[in-house]
Amino acid sequence: MALGDRNDPVGWAPGLVLGPEDPELEPSVAPFSYSRSQGSVPATLSVSTRAEMCYPFDSIDTWQASEGLSLPPSLVDADSGKSGKGSELLPVSWQSMHHDQTLNEPGLQPSVVALVDAAQLAERPGLLVKALDALRVRFPSSLIWTPGIAGPDNCALLSWMGVDLFDMSRSSAAAARGVILTEDGPRLPETTLGESADTEAQCAAWRRAIAATRTAIRSASLRELAERQAASSPRSVERLRRHDAMMRGYEGGRSGLSRVVGHEHSLRCHTHSSRDDALIHDWRNRVADHHQPPEHQRQALLLLPCSAVKPYRTSQSHRRFLRSIGSDAVHQVMVTAPLGLVPRELEEIWPAANYDIPVTGEWDIDELAVIRDMLARLVPRVGYSRVINHSGIDIELERVECVDTRLGDSAGSAQALSRLEEEVDRASSELSLQSPPRPAHRLDQMRALSRFQHGTDAWLDGSKVQGRPPIFTITSGGEQIAQWNPRSGRFAFSKASLPLLDACDAVPRANLAPGFDWRGDLFSTNVESADSRIRVGDEVLVMQEGRLIGSARAEAPGWEWPDGPGRLARSQHRL
């Protein structure tokens, strides 16, 4: 990526592109300016840097491009024959995305992509979301600009959808109408406080919105900000919902979901829109349709309420539960919103260990429907013979005995805990449940965890789990191959484990360019190809000419590989 000095940046994304009539703003807020030819057909679009931002960082750069001739989005099947043309600045329209084959040329990597008919696409349900998704994936290292549709009231939402650059067109129109375009939408100035709708007020709103968006990006809370901002207009709500639906339709790295985050980040699910997040649906589907519990826990399912403290086992309520249960032969699963179900062996990983929700003590209809639907899929698939229900939710399942141990009492009451203990003992006796030795139980939990995170547990064959909770060391043949630390929510693989991971296809792979002398991290300059299923946080095996040479940890999802900007993965081991 030729744009920007990473050692001494002038500005950051997102930022503004100033028009000829816009006020002067510092480059840290508005790193670009633009102009558009008047009268010529097709029009010429020019974008200039407002500081020395292009290598070798010694001049102001100006890029020019032909906008082409764009037909209305409704005429997508027609071809005007004149698509936008440019090198560092590339104008793109809905029509050119369907007819211009040059957009697929591998060498085309512009610094800025301008979606010139963004305003028209924004008026047609779903088209803007589809266009931005296609452009973001096709040009991962380019800055995307959507002329004419951005404002302080939707910049976080547009950033969540992949937009990097905004302009002040809507703010200028608002000023002409005597309205302030704020982070919460347009409103009239409050004259009793001396407010006006002048340029200064519009710029102040932009500064606040951009600052909030950049901060949210750095703190990994952009989704939360986008949800709050979307509530400012029905159109924004519709775009967020359509974007969520599109992301839910993708799998693996294509949707950009993270697999490992650690405990420093929170997943705040404070609004109803949070339930539509692709991350939430991914968890629900994987638990309900794919997750296999430890082998010795597949006859009796025990449903428990969640707790505000994460991981649950550290809470006072769950300590009481564990004392009453007294057996490792039943599969403990927590019921919660918005994740639905959280098996005990998965409580330390993202997002089960990170989510935060407002607690009222009441379940709404949607939450109950999710939990019951997940149980209806999970129970027959695993083959449980009995369900011990200590959750407080009414559960009925076909051909499976469900025993309510709460009977209207609180989960921690002496009566409920006594019934819980009795039912676990009865299930152990009638189903001949056996609690394995604690080391074997822990190994089976690690296997279940590995199946959930990596799709296989074959690399654990013949291994042992040692150590004191919550940190465990996994050894094979007397050699450490991994460590489990709940603070990171991942297996920390040793160098000795890499051949095992390679042999059982446990983690994705990235291929370095032939002949490249690998010394640092993985970047687009040294990666030739990569597995599209990579998620952020994944352990990635580094291959070169068919040979395993090391490992790295992904910092970018699969759709950004191999051409994404910045570091794709941080180096871990070299063989």
Radius of gyration of the chain (CA): 27
Taking a C-beta distance cutoff of 8 angstroms, is the pair 84, 71 a contact? no
Contacts (Cβ under 8 Å, ≥6 apart) of 171: 151, 152, 181, 202, 203, 205, 206
Taking a C-beta distance cutoff of 8 angstroms, is the pair 432, 410 a contact? no
Beta-bridge partners for 336:
340
- Angle, CA 79 vertex, CA 76 and CA 82 arms, to 5°: 125
> CATH 3.20.20.105 spans which residues of the chain?
15-20+48-55+86-248
Q: What is the DSSP string of 379-432?
A: HHHHT-SEEEE-SSS----TTSEEEES-TTS-TTSHHHHHHHHHHHHHHHHHTT
**pLDDT (tens digit per residue) in 472-530:** 999 999 999 999 999 999 999 999 999 999 999 999 999 999 999 999 999 999 999 99
Q: What's the N-to-C CA distance of the chain in angstroms?
A: 30
**CATH superfamily of domain region 267-430:** Uracil-DNA glycosylase-like (3.40.50.10630)
In 166-198, alpha helices (H) = 169-176
Q: What is the DSSP string of 290-325?
A: T----GGGSSEEEEEE--SSSSGGGSHHHHHHHHHH
SS3 44: strand
User: Can you give the pLDDT at residue 58?
Assistant: 86
- Angle, CA 140 vertex, CA 136 and CA 143 arms, to 5°: 75
Beta pairing class for 267-268 and 185-187? unpaired
Q: Which CATH number does 15-20+48-55+86-248 carry?
A: 3.20.20.105
Per-residue H/E/C for 49-98? ECCCCECCCCCCCEEEEECCCCCCHHHCCCCCCCCCECCCEEEECHHHHH
Structural element, H or E, at residue 209: helix 199-218
User: Can you give the pLDDT at residue 79?
Assistant: 84
> CATH 3.40.50.10630 spans which residues of the chain?
267-430
**pLDDT (tens digit per residue) in 360-401:** 778 999 999 999 999 999 999 999 999 999 999 999 999 999
Taking a C-beta distance cutoff of 8 angstroms, is the pair 140, 530 a contact? no
> CATH 3.10.400.20 spans which residues of the chain?
453-574
User: Can you give the pLDDT at residue 443?
Assistant: 97
Range 453-574: architecture per CATH: Roll (3.10)
For the beta carbon of residue 249, count every other beta carbon within 10 angstroms: 11
Residue 312 CA: distances (Å) to CA of 184, 255, 303, 318, 344: 37, 29, 13, 6, 8
What's the whole-model pTM score?
Answer: 0.93
Going by C-alpha positions, the residue among 305, 302, 345, 364 that lies closest to residue 327 is 302
User: Can you give the pLDDT at residue 2?
Assistant: 66
Q: Report, as ranges of residue numbers, the positions in the chain whose pLDDT lies below 70.
A: 1-2
Going by C-alpha positions, the residue among 454, 439, 462 that lies closest to residue 490 is 454
Dist CA 444 CA 449 (whole Å): 9
User: Can you give the pLDDT at residue 322?
Assistant: 97
Dist CA 530 CA 489 (whole Å): 24
As given in the structure block, the two tokens for residue 213 are 């968006």
Q: What 8-state DSSP symbol labels residue 522? A: E
User: Can you give the pLDDT at residue 1?
Assistant: 55
